[in-house]
């Protein structure tokens, strides 16, 4: 497959005009940083508001609640791992030559998060909480998750998403998981089924919005 | 010392050309795009794309390659990167084709369905129509011709056409409508002349 600078191949002739146009619009481009560096960059920026909120949270109370309930610990580990792996999968999905199966990376941690949360909420101590408290949780996840998701979308725009809905959905999941992880510090009541359902709704809303707006957000600059 | 693409062969040459294109080497980019065309055609054909859709997939893939060129990592092989893009565009083309309604469950409709294949003389007629249209388009002023070619004939979006031509969307819309009007006038006057 030698490169021929002089004579175009016969198959290229019908596309000569497009090739000319593309060559005319060629400008130097800067390659995006490594996926690991981009993911760490997002995590560091996300950690700032997380650390700020942790400073005003009742950390001692949160730790004692987690110490008394292994399901809470597993759910927290699951949500943090989901945020990390979903962000990594979203970034890898913007590199065309990476295996699309990387999109399954957050599946195990998501399963752990859901399993531990359901197990905790199903336990005897999981009495329903008031609707206003549950709605406050949803507001917290959405309020913190939307800027997290927009930040990740800005990072993803350095790449090129062949499946923008998938990348957007993963970005939404990562942002919602990160927000839910921070929420764990401010959650002064045991998990209840209605609370869990609204948490799941908030996560699904963010992931769904990411998938729905993925094309618009990730292709706008393309 | 930069590697000259022509001194290499096969995938290494494509990779070197893409690396040169990333820093703005237009000659290497032109050669790369030309050499990618048969490769893309073969990859798309292997995915089951045939006929006129093949050219569409090649053009879509070239456009995507252009937009995604920053994501190519020279430390990795070039062809898997190109193949991933081509396969995605091929799947898009096959889906578009699959969305066209076709009745297959109604026996009468099935029996009465006209053969999709070309009728005798179709190629000649199509060739003649294409020649007439190409001549009419070629006579348009440059701005109108570009708008008609990219938006109507190649079915690119306004945004894509704007990127390719460097014209604003507003200017493209105006040129497109003026071009259509001029084409309509030119082709209808020709038809009237033939009828007479």
Most confident region among A11-25, A44-58, A158-172 by mean pLDDT: A158-172
In a domain, A1, yes or no: no
Q: Cβ B88–A159 below 8 Å, yes or no?
A: no
Distance CA A32, CA A34 (A): 7
**pLDDT for position A124:** 52
Distance CA B108, CA B123 (A): 29
Q: What is the mean pLDDT of residues A75-98?
A: 93
Question: What is the nearest CA distance from B89 to chain A, expressed in angstroms?
Answer: 9
Q: Give, in order, the Cα–Cα distances in Å from B77 to each of A35, A86, B64.
A: 17, 26, 18
**pLDDT for position B48:** 86
Q: What is the mean pLDDT of residues A104-131?
A: 81
- Residues A31-72 have pLDDT tens digits of 888 899 999 999 999 888 878 877 777 767 767 777 677 788
- Of the two residues A118 and B64, the one the predictor is more confident about is B64
In a domain, A10, yes or no: no
In a domain, A9, yes or no: no
The structural domains of chain B, ordered by start, are 5-98 (1.10.1740.10), 121-195 (1.10.10.10)
A101: DSSP letter: G
Query: For residue A34, which of A169, A167, A175, A158 has the smallest C-alpha distance?
Result: A158
Any CB–CB contact under 8 A between A96 and chain B?
Answer: yes
B47: DSSP letter: T
**pLDDT for position A9:** 60
**pLDDT for position B105:** 65
Q: Cβ B62–A12 below 8 Å, yes or no?
A: no
Q: What is the mean pLDDT of residues A14-41?
A: 88
Distance CA B58, CA A69 (A): 58
Question: What is the nearest CA distance from A194 to chain B, expressed in angstroms?
Answer: 41
Cβ A203 vs Cβ A177: under 8 Å: yes
- Residues of chain B predicted below pLDDT 50: 1-7, 196
Helices (H), chain B: 10-22, 26-46, 52-67, 78-98, 107-112, 122-138, 142-147, 158-165, 169-195
| Residue B142 CB partners (closer than 8 Å, separation 6+) | none
Q: Cβ B21–A26 below 8 Å, yes or no?
A: yes
In a domain, A29, yes or no: no
Question: What is the nearest CA distance from B194 to chain A, expressed in angstroms?
Answer: 30
Residue of A nearest to B58 (CA): A15
Distance CA A30, CA A25 (A): 16
Question: What is the nearest CA distance from A151 to chain B, expressed in angstroms?
Answer: 19
Average pLDDT of chain A is 83
Q: Cβ B81–A96 below 8 Å, yes or no?
A: yes
In a domain, A7, yes or no: no
- Of the two residues A67 and A126, the one the predictor is more confident about is A67
Q: Cβ A162–B149 below 8 Å, yes or no?
A: no
**pLDDT for position B100:** 63
Q: Cβ A26–B70 below 8 Å, yes or no?
A: no
Q: What is the mean pLDDT of residues A193-202?
A: 84
Report chain B residues whose CB lies below 8 A from the CB of A167: none
Token pair recorded at residue B84: 């991933």
Q: Cβ A26–B37 below 8 Å, yes or no?
A: no
In a domain, A51, yes or no: yes
- Domain boundaries, position A108: 39-219
In a domain, A22, yes or no: no
* ipTM of model: 0.77
Distance CA A22, CA B67 (A): 10
Distance CA B19, CA B156 (A): 27
Q: What is the mean pLDDT of residues A84-109?
A: 93
**pLDDT for position A208:** 94
Helices (H), A68-163: 70-92, 107-122, 131-156
Is the pLDDT reported for residue A11 higher than 70?
A: no
Any CB–CB contact under 8 A between A99 and chain B?
Answer: no
B153: DSSP letter: I
In a domain, A102, yes or no: yes
Distance CA B126, CA B152 (A): 17
**pLDDT for position A2:** 47
- Of the two residues A139 and A50, the one the predictor is more confident about is A139
- Of the two residues B196 and A181, the one the predictor is more confident about is A181
**What domain count does chain A have?**
1
Residue of A nearest to B14 (CA): A3
């Amino acid at each position: 497959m030698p490169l021929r600078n002089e004579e175009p191949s016969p198959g290229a002739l019908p596309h000569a005009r497009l090739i000319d146009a593309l060559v005319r619009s060629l400008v130097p481009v800067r390659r995006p940083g490594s996926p690991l560096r981009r993911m760490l960059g997002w995590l560091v920026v996300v950690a700032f508001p997380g650390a700020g909120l942790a400073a005003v949270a009742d950390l001692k109370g949160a730790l004692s609640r987690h110490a008394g309930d292994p399901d809470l610990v597993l759910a927290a580990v699951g949500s943090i791992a989901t945020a990390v792996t979903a962000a990594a999968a979203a970034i890898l999905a913007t590199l065309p030559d990476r295996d699309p199966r990387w999109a399954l990376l957050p599946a195990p941690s998501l399963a752990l998060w859901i399993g531990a949360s359901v197990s905790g909420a199903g336990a005897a101590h999981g009495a329903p909480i008031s609707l206003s408290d549950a709605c406050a949780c949803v507001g917290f996840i959405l309020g913190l998750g939307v800027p997290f998701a927009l930040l990740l979308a800005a990072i993803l725009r350095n790449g090129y998403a062949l499946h923008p809905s998938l990348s957007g959905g993963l970005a939404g999941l990562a942002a919602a998981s990160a927000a839910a992880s921070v929420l764990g510090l401010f959650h002064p009541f045991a998990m209840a089924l209605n609370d869990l359902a609204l948490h799941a709704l908030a996560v699904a809303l963010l992931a769904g919005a990411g998938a729905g707006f993925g094309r618009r957000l990730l292709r706008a600059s393309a | 010392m930069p590697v000259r693409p022509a001194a290499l062969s096969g995938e290494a040459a494509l990779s070197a050309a893409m690396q040169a294109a990333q820093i703005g080497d237009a000659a290497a980019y032109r050669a790369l795009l030309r050499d990618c065309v048969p490769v893309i055609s073969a990859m798309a054909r292997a995915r089951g794309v045939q006929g006129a859709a093949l050219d569409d997939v090649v053009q879509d893939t070239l456009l995507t390659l252009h937009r995604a060129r920053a994501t190519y990592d020279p430390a990795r092989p070039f062809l898997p990167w190109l193949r991933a893009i081509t396969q995605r565009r091929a799947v898009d083309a096959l889906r578009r084709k699959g969305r066209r309604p076709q009745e297959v469950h109604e026996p009468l409709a099935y029996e009465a369905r006209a053969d999709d294949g070309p009728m005798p003389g179709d190629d000649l007629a199509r060739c003649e129509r294409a020649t007439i249209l190409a001549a009419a388009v070629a006579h348009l002023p440059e701005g109108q011709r570009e708008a008609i070619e990219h938006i109507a004939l190649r079915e690119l979006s306004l945004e894509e056409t704007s990127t390719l031509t460097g014209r604003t969307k507003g200017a493209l819309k105006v040129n497109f409508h003026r071009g259509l009007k001029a084409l309509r006038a030119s082709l209808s006057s020709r038809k009237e002349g033939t009828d007479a």
